[in-house]
Amino acid sequence: MRVVCIGECMVELREEPDGRFARAFGGDTLNTAVYLARLGVAVDYATALGDDAWSAEMLAAWQQEGVGSALVLRCPGMMPGLYVIQTDPGGERRFLYWRDTSAARRLFALPDTGRVIAALADCRLVYYSGISLSLYGEDGRARLAQALLAARARGARIAFDTNFRPRGWPDRAVAQTAFRTALTGADLVFASVDDLAPLFGAIWEGEIAGATPDAEVVVKLGEPRCTVRHGAAAPVTVAAPPVAAVVDTTAAGDSFAAAYIAARLDGLPPARAAEVGHRLAGAVVAHRGAIIPRAAMPSRAALGLEGSPTAP
């Protein structure tokens, strides 16, 4: 059984110090899918693409990384979204988006959508994010929620990352409703103070605790550490090892989630999985762009993963 990541991949333009741009492809859940594949996890990416040259390049790049493409639907005449990354001298990034008419937004409104929904019911784990939720609109989110409920009933684990980008939502109330539904239906939550405080305000801790009493919850804090809570057990704080030089924080959380999921699928306990996540994120932020070069990818052993990946 495979892992399925749901969301959107966009054309990435990274602004270099001299003002020129380097082109790549990226998106939060796609980044996670690539890092999962590099760690030996059988993973498919569920999204919609156009029939343009960039969409074809994306698909070829995912296949080269070992990410399954059976759940990629095609929309003739449409194109992927685009975003620009700008980074300050400390490595913090700013994103500019052009994505309102991207093909990915139609994933749950296409004639072949039923094939994606059916595949979710037979997978091992489904991973999606707050950004995924912002793509689909009310009807699409309702269809996704029903599909996740059915998959969970058949034994799939549901992992939700709280990535919250205010510009992707018509208003905060709509986002709050969507996030509460997602949190309630999740077995594994990757949360962040930076996401939840702007969304729920000062009551964010109560919101997540009330929605996920039995779930496994990883909360990334403002400094390089996280807390891990598994069901009724007391939260455990796991610090990240220092990084010599932070170049670009793009995909830090996405890579953390990939390594954490890989570790949990291998049977490691939550606190050790968080240590694995911190190690991969530390390697990722030392390079520019969302997907680091293969040569810079740490081995499973260097990350603290034991032996070969668990068979799908």
Query: Amino acid identity of 158?
Result: I
Q: Which of 181, 187, 14, 207 is nearest to 94 (CA)?
A: 14
Give residues with Cβ within 8 angstroms of 158, minimum separation 6.
Answer: 125, 126, 148, 151, 152, 185, 186, 187, 188
CA geometry: angle at 40 spanning 35 and 42, to 5°?
A: 90
Give residues with Cβ within 8 angstroms of 288, minimum separation 6.
Answer: 14, 22, 87, 247, 248, 250
Is 254 among the catalytic positions? yes
Query: Amino acid identity of 226?
Result: C
Provide the token pair at 158. Answer: 């549901």
Q: Measure the CA–CA gap between 130 and 162, rounded to whole angstroms.
A: 5
Which among 44, 161, 248, 254 is annotated as catalytic?
254
Strand partners, 217: 189, 229
Q: Which residues are catalytic?
A: 254
